[in-house]
Every structure is written in C-alpha cells, then in structure tokens.
Amino acid sequence: MGNSNYITSLNGLRGFAAVLILMVQFVPFFPVLKTLHLPTNNYLWADFFFILSGFVITLNYGNAFENGFNKDAYKTFLRRRLTRLYPFYAVALVGMILAELYRMHVYTSMHTELVVPIFNNSLDGEKSWPNLVLSFLMLQSWGVHKSLVWNVPAWAVSALFFVYILFPVLLSAILKLRSNVIVFGILMLGYFLVDVFDSYHNPYNFNLLHALLGFSCGIALARAYVTNSGNHKLLRNDWLLGLLLMACIYYTSISSYTFPIFPMFCLLVHAVARSEGKVAGALNSKPLQFLGNISYGLYLTHFVVLNFLDMAILSNFNRSLTYFPLWQNGLLFIAFLGVTIGVSMLGKRYLEKSTAPALSA
C-alpha cells in the first residue's frame, strides 16, 4: 500500500489549517483580530490533522504491515516517528516551563498570586509535577481528566503518538473490512456518539477517540487513493473543491459540533490529493507551502511564545495585551507572529529530522 509520492497541495492545505487553529489562541489576546470576524471554532481542524496524518502515514508505511505485523518494521516505524516528533516537542515543553517560571517571577514582583499554581502534586493540576512528567513522556492525553496541561496544544501530539502505536492494528482491521463504505459507516457512527456524549459536559476526555477515529479514516482514504477507488470526476472538480473548502471554513464559524464536519474533512483530503486544478495550484503557492513546512513548529511553539510575550508586556507596561489600542495591539500581533515563525523555522532546521515522511503529523 505504500506510496511515497509527495502531495504538495496537501502540504499547503496543512499550512492553511495550522493558521486557522492558531487563531483560536490569538483572538483572546489580540482584540484587533476580532474586527476580522474570524471563525471561532477553528479547533475543529485538529480532526483534519488526524485524518491527514492517517492518510500520509499509510501512504508511507502501509506496505510494511500490509501482509501482517512485522516486528523490525514496527521498531523502525516508531523510532522514526519519535525522531520526527520528540526533539521539537521536548524543547517546546521546556520553553513552556520557562514561560511559567517567568510568569511566577512577574506575578511575585507585582505581589499577585498565580491564577494557576505551578509545581503542585495534584494530578488534576494543569501545571503540576505529575502532569509535567506525563507531558515529557507524551502521555498527558492518555488519561480521562478533562483539563489540558502545560503546553496545551501538545495534547494532539500525545494523542497522535497513541494512534501511531496502534497503527499496524488499525491498518490490519481496516484492510480486513474490504468495503470502505462499511469502514466509513462505522467511523461516522463513532464520531456521532462521541459528539453526543461530549455534549453532556461530562468530565471525560475524548481526545484519544478523536485521534483514533480521524487517523482510521485517513487509513481508509489512503486505501481508496492507492487502489484508485472513488476516483470520480466530481471529486476532482475544481468548483466543488473550492466550495468544499469554503464550507469547512464556514462551518467552524457557526458550530462547535464535530460530527457534521468530519465527513467534510474526509472529502477534502480525498479531493485535494487528487486535484490538479486552480485550488490545488493555490495550495501549492510559496506562502502556503512555507507555512505547511513549518506547521508542526507553529503548532508547538505559538502557545509558548504567546505566554512569554504576554508576561513581557505585563512586566514592562503593567497591563496585558488586551488593554492596548487596536493599532498597537495589531503591531504586537505582528511581532508575536514574526517571533513564532522565526522559532518554528529554527526548529524545522535543527530539531525536525529528515527521516519523517512527507506531510506526516
């Protein structure tokens, strides 16, 4: 099943989606962005990344497990995944620790108590010792507590690592179900049930289920891509692809429910992978390719940089980012974005390893 072709349009789409997710963190700190009326539920695009990762991982590693479990191939797979993910992940987590220590210093100098205490011993504590250890082990999303800890966006990396461990099992199960219609039916039902249970504001964490369902859909999409099934002209229509992309963006501005947008993301990945039209050409543009190449760093570091900047502004101007006039807030946003991009570029060069397959994670 392996196919190592580099689908550049998906890389551009990944860069576009990464920026949409980052906006969720930006808006509360930068009121200037509220004037743009950006979609408010862009965190839903995390499910897109799980689907995309399952698709790409299967194209690159699926042939190693197509005929059953291979111990040596499995070791190589996990080693490459860890080599790809962990160095940048660990450095970003250390950066988050330093940001929290800086916050403690600033608050102490202002004679203000920390809103979220750090280094306590409670497993429920967002910045506790136990959760710090779990974060370094990439296990913080494997529990059932609802809160996101330390470097908050890294929950998705932890969940992704979980499904990487299960990759051969998931691939085998999906290959045994020869009909993609049955596979997608089961996975759609799973997403519907997750949405239903999550809507009751229960204390459980469904992040792992989101990763599991999305990644599995990516595996099924890769099978369809390699076997050329579902290659209908309609799915490669440029107008339809453009409308589908706009529909995904619009949906995140009106709803926070995952289930309806989940099949739309699946169609989007499938259509972009096959398209050679104008939309694919736009996704192949240099700015989006650049953002796609550094998207992992953008995702890992933006929250760290944001916390440092927020404390630096508070320390030097005795007011938070939100209390600046819009034009000054806009300049601060540009500065923040520039620093985040710079840090991501450095991480891409020195921390992300070349053993990674194209577009992974």
| The pLDDT of residue 138 | 93
Average pLDDT over residues 242-246: 88
| Rg of the chain over all Cα atoms, to the nearest angstrom | 21
359 occurs within a structural domain: no
* Percent of the chain topping pLDDT 90: 33
**Range of the structural domain that residue 199 is part of:** 8-350
1 occurs within a structural domain: no
| The pLDDT of residue 297 | 93
- Identify the band that residue 154 occupies on the pLDDT scale cut at 50, 70 and 90: very high
| The pLDDT of residue 295 | 93
- 342 SS3 class: helix
pTM of this structure: 0.89
Q: Would the pLDDT of 343 be above 90?
A: yes
Average pLDDT over residues 80-84: 92
54 occurs within a structural domain: yes
358 occurs within a structural domain: no
Residue from 217, 306, 289 nearest 25 by CA: 306
Q: Would the pLDDT of 355 be above 50?
A: no
Geometric angle at alpha carbon 210, from 163 and 205, rounded to 5°: 100
271 occurs within a structural domain: yes
| The pLDDT of residue 158 | 93
Give the Cα separation of 110 and 320 in Å (integer): 13
Q: Would the pLDDT of 361 be above 50?
A: no
Q: Would the pLDDT of 359 be above 50?
A: no
| The pLDDT of residue 357 | 46
Looking at mean pLDDT, say which of 54-68, 102-116, 259-273, 334-348 comes out highest. Answer: 334-348
Task: Tell me the two tokens of residue 181.
Answer: 């219609």
| The pLDDT of residue 360 | 43
Written as one string, the DSSP assignment of 238-272 is HHHHHHHHHHHHHHHHH---STTHHHHHHHHHHHH
| The pLDDT of residue 235 | 65
177 occurs within a structural domain: yes
Average pLDDT over residues 316-327: 82
Q: What is the total count of domains within the chain?
A: 1
Q: Would the pLDDT of 358 be above 60?
A: no
- 118 SS3 class: strand
| The pLDDT of residue 49 | 93
355 occurs within a structural domain: no
The gap from C-alpha 67 to its chain's centroid, in whole angstroms, comes to 30
76 occurs within a structural domain: yes
Task: Tell me the two tokens of residue 149.
Answer: 């800890």
Give the Cα separation of 293 and 18 in Å (integer): 11
Q: Would the pLDDT of 2 be above 70?
A: no
Looking at mean pLDDT, say which of 19-33, 66-80, 141-155, 244-258 comes out highest. Answer: 66-80
Cα 143 to Cα 73, 162, 306: the distances in Å are: 28, 11, 26
Range with the poorest average pLDDT among 76-80, 144-148, 201-205, 218-222: 201-205
Q: Would the pLDDT of 68 be above 50?
A: yes
